[in-house]
Structures are given as structure tokens and as C-alpha cells.
């Protein structure tokens, strides 16, 4: 009877685990938070080619768990009994190199926030448990290759910026979780679950995700903001894509499946910080590398390596696939904000090619699927007074927000007994007031309420009567996304994302009834808090991708920091980034490739480090050996006046194909209807993408056309201008006006509480900085270089 009762009370997830070992098996006991319900997992330790896992179907009470544990000790008494190994908080997955399987587990965690009472945790300690027993372990105990693979994998520090939640699908946006709730298997297929490959074996074996956690890599920060007498919970999340993932110079541009480097989804969530909030809002934006085939050599001698444009995709099919994938994720419209330079040879070449690609693709797309774009040189426009660019970017953000809108809806508190879990309806769509995300926003309250009952428990009328919500407002759904990029998608991109976040925050707070006007200016107190959030996010993402914190020149200038301090900080970070790119990134990339399953070791095949040291060996055999025409634009950023010889990075391991056959990617214009990314799993760029020629230019080779559009239709249109979604003349006008209303708010927002008012700091001129410079006792030549020389910020 006790077991039957426990079966009925079985939790949706296990949150605490205990690992025991015998000579022949590992035993994993999992329990819920209250330790009232227990499950058992058995793992075979014999030397088998495949993982052998068995899940016991019985659900145990705590007393039955203790009794079972005692019985297992008696059963294995002749071979040494059952010993406790460790307590842990979730299985990251299983990995195999050349020898036995290893189980990766989380042995410590830290709560970093919560979304509607669903805790979010950061990984703070992990462990790798070898599954082999004493007999089979001796075979690989002294294997140099096996130990080297383990050391490479440990290079990826899971204690930094990996987070998860047991009960909230943190890998998906709030709008998707409410309007299209999913759980279990499908969640691991998300673009943003980094341990999808590592968990694949156990999920295939058990057909369950009960024992694993889904890790998201990126950034998570949450805090309460006091606005107009209300406590508002603000959450900023950045999710890095696991597709075409890697480090700065080793992952650039796009691969053949349309995946781009440094693809990051940013979401900000806002709701009132009360026990049971009834209104929620979120907005999503995206950053990613320029979706063309381009690369850069990693050089110890050149701080600005050459940009190499590979002319292997004359019809821009990979670029088109990328935007189709974005449309499948976010809908229409896709708005492109391209911030690269127009006056530098390296970047201007990519700008012209990207503009050509967009215009050609728009001729292939239907009118409703046309890409909206704006090419705007942030660096050029930041000369003089860098903070002026924030005014312009805010204008762009308001125009983009009008096209994409944002997500807002009301949700109903759970009905039933007082012991019902907090907000179960949020994740499982039992009671929330929402409609399908493809519906129109002007829906009647009857329609909204009518969509609330998907559980089959009670009628809509009963639920409406028990709801204590005020009169329902129609939901608003975000349709489309703003995609921002510069060269690295780090520094300039982060400034633009802050401006869009500020524009969206005003609309979110207005929807929640916190402010009367949906437009927040740069002088509003909450804008300073938001800048801190985005600055922290920018630093975190920059370290992950490039090895140093972000170049925060504009943010620093907005705070009124000394010009000398800003430039010296930019110089130091540039050197940090260069050192990381030249000396550390190859090892980091190798670890990422192992973790994500991009490279899988095999007996008799070249080892990972052999591919790193010799790209020619890697390209022999199963890889096609073809030439691509390239354009190389030289840099003038050499530290020494010598040839910029490149270091061999991880060029081989980036491109290793998995043995499992991958389905063909559809090239149709229709966007996918589901979020599943199975067709993109573990794809690696073909060796053609990274093959480079030492010559400055190679004549273009013939290319097969991917679609049947005649060549006359593939020429860019004669439309002039750098934008097709706003007026550049209007954008360049001075002032901070938005489309219809003024955004020039130099004083704190009248609707915000005075306790949050932060006085603006007026930037000083260099004449007023002399005492500060002298106090630092810096060499006069250095001060003159900082004052008059060129900045390293780019």
C-alpha cells in the first residue's frame, strides 16, 4: 500500500541522488526534494561495447529504500558488498573514449534564481565516474591516449556559466513554454541543451529523461527592481547554441547547414515579485556571426588577422538556411542589424557581401518572408561622443519593437487543494490564460478563457469562476526577432542589445501597469540598472567566446569614466583576447568538440591531437579534398613587421563527421513547424569551409546551383540605401525622438519611485583629467599615446 501511494505521488523530476557501487554494478538512488519517493537505476560495470542501464519500475518509500539498500549489501557480500560513492544532483551524461564508459555527474550546485518558484541552479562542481570494474579497468589504467582524452574533456570547465532547472524548461523562452508546453524528450532536442549528445545513450536506453539534467551554457542573472512602489522581478538569460559552437577564430561565419558561430538567444523576463504573479512578459533577441563562409587565421604576431572570404556558396544557400532556421524559431519578421565598419578594408568586404546576400535571398523569399535589414557603422558614428550611438540605437530599437512586438499574458493561479504545487499550470498548460502563438492578439476574453483547459479536469466555466484575476487583457505575442551582429558579435552587438532591451523593458513595464508611458529614456533610473545587467552579460559571453571581457567603451563613457581609463582598459582586454585566441582556444575547442560529440574517438582512427597538428592527415581518406576560391583582405594590425604565420588550431577536429547518418536538410522556403533540431544534430563544417590558400586571390571555380532560379534573378536589386525597414535620413537626425513621441528624457521617469533615482555623471573632458592622470604616475609617452593615438577598441 505504501508503494502504491508513493507511485501516485511520484514526482515530475528527481532532484537528489546517491551513488553506490559493487564489483559488478553501480546503483543510483534518486529522490524528490522531500526524500519521500525513491527510484532505482542499475548500471552494468562489465566491459560491454554499449551502455547497459536498467531502471527499476518500482517506486519506493524512504523505509523501503533503506530496506532495499540493506538487501543489496547482503546480495554482494561475497564480492565486497555495496559501498557508498557520493551524493550528487543529476547526471550530465555518459562519454566513451577508447576504453570504458564514464558517467559525468553534478556533485555541487548553487541556486542563482527562480522563475515562478521553479529554482534555477548553476553547476559548481562535477565529477567523472569510471564505470569499469577492477578487472576491466586494468586494461586502460595506463593508457596514455585514454588519459589524454580525459584531460582534454576536463579543459571545459562546467563550473562556469552552465545552469539548469529541474522543473522549468530553461532552455526555451517563456512564450514557448506557455503557448507550446513540452516536457521530457523533446526538450533535449533544443538548440540550447549542451549535453544533448552526452545524454543520448541513457535517453535511448530508458526512453526517459528522469535521471538527467539539461544544461544550458550562457548567462543568467536575476534581481528585484523597485519601480513605482512595486517590486519587479527582472531576469536576463543568454543561451548559447550547441550547433557550430566554439571559440572566436576557430568558429566564424556559417556552416553548410545554416548554423552560425556565436549564436546566442537573449531573453528578458519581467513580472511582479509577489508569491503568485498573474501577469508576465518576456522579449527575445538574437546575435550570431555574419552568415557567410568566412574565417580568420589565428596568429601570434598579428592582433588583427586577415579576414578570408570563401566564395564557395555563390547562391547563398547556407545563408538562406540560416534565416529559415531563425524563422522557424521566432516567426516573421527577421530584422537584421549589421554594425560592422564601412571604412576598414577587412570589415567592409564582409559588409558588401552580406548586403548582396540579403538582397538576393529576398528575391527568393515571398514578400511576407522578406528580411528587414539595417547596415549601420557603429564605430564611425561613435567617434566624438560615443554615447550618441545609444540615442540612435534606441530609435532603431523602438522601430524594430513595433514590428516584432513582445510577449505578454495573464496566467491563472492553480486550482485545487492547498497542497497543490506552485504554478503547475505555467509549465503544463492546465490553467494558464493563453492562446496559440499563431493566433491574433485581438482575441476575446471568452476565447482566451476557453483555451485554458487542456487537462480535462473541470470545465472552463468552473475555472473562470474560481479565478481571482481581474478583467482579462488580450495577450500579446512576439512574432519575429531582431538579429544583431558585428564582427565578433560581442562588443558593439552588446550595446545594441542593451538599447533594444531598454526599449522593450518600457513596453513590458507598461503592460504590467507599472509605468504610464511605454517609452523609457536613457536617463531613467531603471536604464542604469539595465545597463549593469547587459554589461555583465556582455563580459560573460565575451570571455566564453574570445577569452576576455567585452570592450565596454560606450558603457564606460556613459558612466563618465576617464578617457584615459577607458582606453587603457580596452588595450589590456585586447591583449588578453589576443593571448587567449593564440594560445588557449585550440585546447578549449578540442574540449568542446568532445563534449558536444563533434569528435568521437575510435580505435585505429587518427587521434584528436593528431588532427590538430596536421590538417593534411585529417583531410585524407573520408574527407573530400577540393579547393575553394577565396578573397583575403590583409590587416594592418601586425605587432611585428613579419609574415603573419598562423598557428594550427583545431582545424581538423572541427570538421569530423559523426558515424550516424544525418537526415538531409530541406531547402524549401516553408519554415519548420516544430522546434526540434534533430536534422542539425552534431553537424560539423565540411573541410571545405576552413581550407585556405596562401595566395591573395584564386580564380573562382564552378559551383553547382542549389536552386533553379535563373542567374538573372540572383543579381542584387538596384535598390540603394543601407536599410529597407526605416528611413536612414530620419535615423541620422539629431535628437532622441522615436516614431511618434519624444524619447528625450533627461530627468528620472516621473512614474518611478524616488528611491531609485540615480544622478547622471557628466563625462569630463581631457583637460579636467590631468590631476587623475598625474595621480596614476603613468609615463608621459604612454599618456600621449592614449590621448592622441588610435584606440584598440574595434
Contact (CB, 8 A) for 472 and 370: no
What is the predicted pLDDT for the residue at 2?
46
More confident residue, 668 or 633: 633
| Higher per-residue pLDDT: 779 or 409 | 409
At residue 463, the pLDDT reads 39
pLDDT bracket for residue 117 (50, 70, 90): confident
- Is residue 465 predicted with pLDDT exceeding 60? no
671: DSSP letter: P
pLDDT score, position 22: 93
Cβ contact 143:97 at 8 Å: no
Long-range residue pairs from 357-360, CB within 8 A, at least 24 positions apart, any chain: 357/291, 357/292, 357/316, 357/319, 359/716, 359/717, 359/719, 360/315, 360/316, 360/714, 360/715, 360/716
- DSSP 8-state code for residue 211: T
- If you search the block for the grid coordinates 502563438, which residue do you land on? 437
pLDDT tens digits, one per residue of 26-78: 999 999 988 999 999 999 998 778 899 999 999 999 999 999 999 999 989 88
Q: Which of 479-493, 545-559, 582-596, 756-770 has the highest mean pLDDT?
A: 479-493
The β-bridge partners of 336 are: 373, 483
Q: Which helix (H) or strand (E) holds 401?
A: helix 388-404
Q: What angle do CA 491, 494, 495 make, to 5 degrees?
A: 95
Q: How far is Cα 56 from Cα 42, in angstroms, rounded to an integer? A: 8
Statement: residue 700 has pLDDT above 80: no
What cell does 498 get? 542593451
Q: Among candidates 516, 520, 521, which has minimal Cα distance to 506?
A: 520
CA angle 593, 597, 603 (to 5 degrees): 95
Query: 335 Cβ partners below 8 Å, 6+ apart?
Result: 371, 372, 373, 374, 400, 403, 404, 480, 481, 482, 483, 725
- The answer to whether residue 404 scores a pLDDT higher than 50 is yes
Only one residue has cell 587567449, namely 580
* Strand 372-375 with 83-88, pairing: unpaired
**pLDDT value, residue 584:** 66
Confidence of residue 385 (pLDDT cuts 50, 70, 90): confident
Nearest-angstrom CA–CA distance, 411 and 473: 11
pLDDT band at 548 (very low <50, low <70, confident <90, very high): low
Q: Is the dihedral of CA 165, 169, 172, 173 positive or negative?
A: negative
Rounded-to-integer distance, Cα 256 and Cα 688, Å: 10
pLDDT digits (tens, 9 = 90+) for 118-158: 999 999 999 999 998 877 666 666 688 999 999 999 989 99
- Tell me, what's the pLDDT at 93? 97
Q: Which of 456-470, 572-586, 661-675 has the lowest mean pLDDT?
A: 661-675
By the 10 Å C-beta count (0-12 exposed, 13-18 middle, 19+ buried), 417 is classed as exposed
Of the chain, the percentage scoring pLDDT greater than 70 comes to 63
Give the pLDDT band of residue 448 (cuts 50, 70, 90): very low
Residue 549: partners with Cβ closer than 8 Å, 6 or more residues away:
538, 539, 542, 543, 573, 576
- The pLDDT-based confidence of 318 (bands split at 50, 70, 90) is very high
Of 91 and 444, the structure prediction assigns the larger pLDDT to 91
Query: For 112-250, where are the alpha helices, taking DSSP H only?
Result: 134-140, 144-153, 174-179, 185-188, 196-206
The residue to which cell 547518418 is assigned: 661
- Work out the burial of residue 34: count CB atoms within 10 Å of its CB; fewer than 13 is exposed, 13-18 middle, 19 or more buried: exposed
Residue 708 — pLDDT band, cuts 50, 70, 90? very low
Quick one: cell of 133?
570494474
Q: What share of the chain is helix, strand, coil (3-state, %, to 5)?
A: 35, 20, 45
Please state, rounded to an integer, the average pLDDT across all residues of the chain. 74
With H, G, I as helix, E, B as strand and everything else as coil, classify residue 591: helix
Query: Per-residue pLDDT for 719 more than 70?
Result: no
How far is the C-alpha of 509 from the C-alpha of 544, rounded, in Å?
Answer: 31
Q: Are 390 and 554 in contact (CB under 8 A)?
A: yes
Q: What is the pTM of this model?
A: 0.76
Rounded to 5 degrees, what angle do the CA atoms 751, 755, 756 make? Answer: 70
424 neighbors 276 (Cβ within 8 angstroms): no
φ, ψ dihedrals at 199, nearest 5°: -95, -5
**Kind plus residue range of the DSSP H or E element containing 787:** helix 780-788
Expressed in angstroms, the distance from the first to the final Cα of the chain is 69
- What is the DSSP track for 57-109? ---B-HHHHHHHHHHHHHHTGGGT--EEEEEES-EEEEEESSSSEEEEEEEEE
pLDDT at 180: 85
Q: What is the pLDDT of residue 123?
A: 97
pLDDT at 508: 97
Span 409-429, mean pLDDT? 50
More confident residue, 774 or 437: 774
Spatial distance between the Cα atoms of 551 and 491, rounded to a whole number of angstroms: 5
322-359 pLDDT, tens per residue?
999 999 999 999 999 999 998 888 889 999 999 999 99
**Grid cell 564582409 in the structure block, residue:** 350
Quickly state the pLDDT bin for 669 (edges 50, 70, 90).
very low
In this prediction, residue 16 carries a pLDDT of: 96
pLDDT value, residue 570: 65
Read off the pLDDT of residues 266-312 as tens digits, 9 standing for 90 and up.
Answer: 999 999 998 888 899 999 999 999 999 999 877 656 667 788 999 88
Residues 6+ apart with CB under 8 A from 178: 280, 409, 411, 426, 429, 432, 434
The strands making up 16-21's β-sheet, listed across from edge to edge, are 53-55, 38-44, 25-31, 16-21, 83-88
Q: What is the DSSP string of 319-374?
A: HHHHHHHHHHHH-S-EEEEE---SSSHHHHHHHHHHHHHHHHHHHHS-GGGPPEEE
Which helix (H) or strand (E) covers residue 256, if one does? none
* 761 pLDDT higher than 70: no
Lowest mean pLDDT among 432-446, 460-474, 586-600: 432-446
User: Which carries the bigger pLDDT value, residue 703 or residue 394?
Assistant: 394
354, 485 in Cβ contact below 8 A? no
Amino acid at each position: 500500500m505504501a508503494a502504491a501511494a508513493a507511485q501516485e505521488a511520484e514526482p515530475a523530476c528527481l532532484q537528489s541522488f546517491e551513488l553506490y557501487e559493487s564489483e559488478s554494478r553501480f546503483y543510483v538512488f534518486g529522490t524528490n526534494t522531500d526524500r519521500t519517493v525513491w527510484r532505482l537505476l542499475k548500471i552494468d560495470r562489465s566491459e560491454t561495447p554499449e551502455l547497459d542501464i536498467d531502471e527499476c519500475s518500482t517506486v519506493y518509500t524512504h523505509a523501503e529504500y533503506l530496506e532495499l539498500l540493506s538487501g543489496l549489501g547482503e546480495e554482494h557480500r561475497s564480492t565486497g558488498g555495496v559501498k557508498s560513492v557520493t551524493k550528487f544532483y543529476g547526471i550530465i551524461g555518459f562519454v566513451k573514449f577508447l576504453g570504458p564508459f564514464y558517467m559525468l555527474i553534478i556533485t555541487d550546485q548553487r541556486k542563482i534564481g527562480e522563475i515562478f518558484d521553479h529554482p534555477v541552479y548553476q553547476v559548481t562542481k562535477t565529477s567523472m565516474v569510471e564505470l569499469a570494474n577492477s578487472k576491466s579497468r586494468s586494461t586502460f589504467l595506463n593508457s596514455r591516449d585514454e588519459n589524454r582524452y580525459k584531460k582534454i574533456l576536463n579543459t571545459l570547465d562546467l563550473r562556469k556559466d552552465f545552469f539548469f532547472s529541474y522543473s522549468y524548461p530553461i532552455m526555451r523562452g517563456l512564450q514557448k513554454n506557455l503557448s507550446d508546453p513540452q516536457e521530457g524528450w523533446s526538450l533535449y532536442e533544443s538548440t540550447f541543451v549542451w549535453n544533448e549528445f552526452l545524454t543520448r545513450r541513457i535517453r535511448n536506453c530508458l526512453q526517459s529523461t528522469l535521471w538527467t539534467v539539461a544544461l544550458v551554457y550562457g548567462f543568467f542573472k536575476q534581481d528585484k527592481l523597485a519601480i513605482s512602489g512595486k517590486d519587479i522581478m527582472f531576469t536576463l538569460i543568454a543561451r548559447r547554441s550547441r550547433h557550430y559552437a566554439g571559440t572566436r577564430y576557430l568558429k566564424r561565419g556559417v556552416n553548410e547547414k545554416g548554423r552560425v558561430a556565436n549564436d546566442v538567444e537573449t531573453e528578458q523576463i519581467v513580472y511582479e515579485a509577489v508569491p503568485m504573479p498573474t501577469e508576465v512578459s518576456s522579449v527575445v533577441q538574437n546575435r550570431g556571426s555574419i552568415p557567410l563562409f568566412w574565417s580568420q587565421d589565428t596568429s601570434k604576431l598579428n592582433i588583427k588577422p586577415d579576414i578570408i572570404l570563401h566564395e564557395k556558396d555563390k547562391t547563398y544557400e547556407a545563408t538562406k538556411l540560416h534565416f529559415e532556421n531563425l524563422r522557424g524559431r521566432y516567426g516573421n519578421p527577421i530584422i537584421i542589424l549589421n554594425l560592422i565598419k564601412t571604412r576598414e578594408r577587412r570589415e567592409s568586404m564582409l559588409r558588401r557581401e552580406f548586403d548582396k546576400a540579403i538582397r538576393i535571398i529576398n528575391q527568393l523569399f515571398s514578400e511576407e518572408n522578406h528580411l528587414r535589414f539595417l547596415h549601420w557603422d557603429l564605430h564611425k558614428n561613435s567617434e566624438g561622443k560615443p554615447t550618441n550611438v545609444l540615442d540612435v540605437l534606441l530609435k532603431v530599437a523602438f522601430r524594430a519593437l513595433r514590428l516584432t512586438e513582445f510577449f505578454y499574458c495573464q496566467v491563472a493561479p492553480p486550482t485545487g487543494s492547498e497542497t497543490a504545487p506552485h504554478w503547475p499550470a505555467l509549465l503544463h498548460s492546465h490553467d494558464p490564460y493563453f492562446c496559440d502563438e499563431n493566433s491574433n492578439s485581438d482575441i476575446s476574453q471568452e476565447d482566451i478563457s476557453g483555451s485554458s483547459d487542456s487537462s480535462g479536469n473541470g470545465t472552463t466555466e468552473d475555472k473562470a469562476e474560481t479565478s481571482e484575476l481581474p478583467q482579462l487583457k488580450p495577450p500579446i505575442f512576439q512574432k519575429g526577432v531582431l538579429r544583431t551582429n558585428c564582427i565578433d558579435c560581442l562588443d558593439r552587438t552588446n550595446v545594441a542589445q542593451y538599447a533594444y532591451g531598454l526599449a522593450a523593458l518600457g513596453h513590458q513595464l507598461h503592460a504590467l501597469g507599472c509605468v504610464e508611458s511605454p517609452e523609457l529614456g536613457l536617463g531613467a533610473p531603471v536604464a542604469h540598472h539595465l545597463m549593469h545587467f547587459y554589461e555583465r552579460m556582455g563580459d560573460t559571453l565575451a570571455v566564453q567566446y574570445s577569452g576576455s571581457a567585452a570592450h565596454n567603451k560606450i558603457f564606460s563613457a556613459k558612466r563618465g569614466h576617464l578617457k584615459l581609463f577607458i582606453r587603457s582598459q580596452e588595450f589590456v582586454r585586447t591583449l588578453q583576447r589576443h593571448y587567449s585566441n593564440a594560445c588557449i582556444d585550440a585546447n578549449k575547442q578540442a574540449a568542446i568538440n568532445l563534449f558536444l560529440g563533434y569528435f568521437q574517438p575510435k580505435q585505429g582512427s587518427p587521434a584528436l591531437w593528431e588532427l590538430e597538428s596536421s590538417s593534411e592527415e585529417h583531410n585524407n581518406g573520408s574527407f573530400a579534398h577540393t579547393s575553394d576560391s577565396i578573397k583575403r583582405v590583409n590587416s594592418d594590425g601586425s605587432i611585428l613587421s613579419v609574415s603573419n604565420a598562423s598557428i594550427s588550431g583545431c582545424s581538423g577536429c572541427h570538421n569530423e563527421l559523426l558515424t550516424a547518418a544525418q537526415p538531409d536538410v530541406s531547402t524549401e522556403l516553408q519554415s519548420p513547424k516544430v522546434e526540434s533540431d534533430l536534422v542539425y544534430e552534431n553537424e560539423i563544417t565540411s573541410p571545405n569551409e576552413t581550407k585556405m590558400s596562401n595566395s591573395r586571390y584564386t580564380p573562382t571555380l564552378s559551383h553547382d546551383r542549389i536552386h533553379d532560379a535563373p542567374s538573372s534573378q540572383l543579381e542584387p536589386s538596384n535598390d540603394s540605401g543601407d536599410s529597407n525597414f526605416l528611413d536612414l535620413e530620419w535615423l541620422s537626425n539629431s535628437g532622441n525622438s522615436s516614431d511618434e513621441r519624444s524619447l528625450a528624457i533627461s530627468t528620472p521617469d516621473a512614474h518611478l519611485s524616488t528611491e531609485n533615482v540615480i544622478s547622471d555623471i557628466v563625462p569630463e573632458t581631457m583637460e579636467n583629467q590631468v590631476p587623475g592622470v598625474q595621480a596614476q604616475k603613468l609615463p608621459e609617452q604612454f599618456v600621449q599615446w592614449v590621448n592622441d593615438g588610435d584606440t584598440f577598441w574595434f
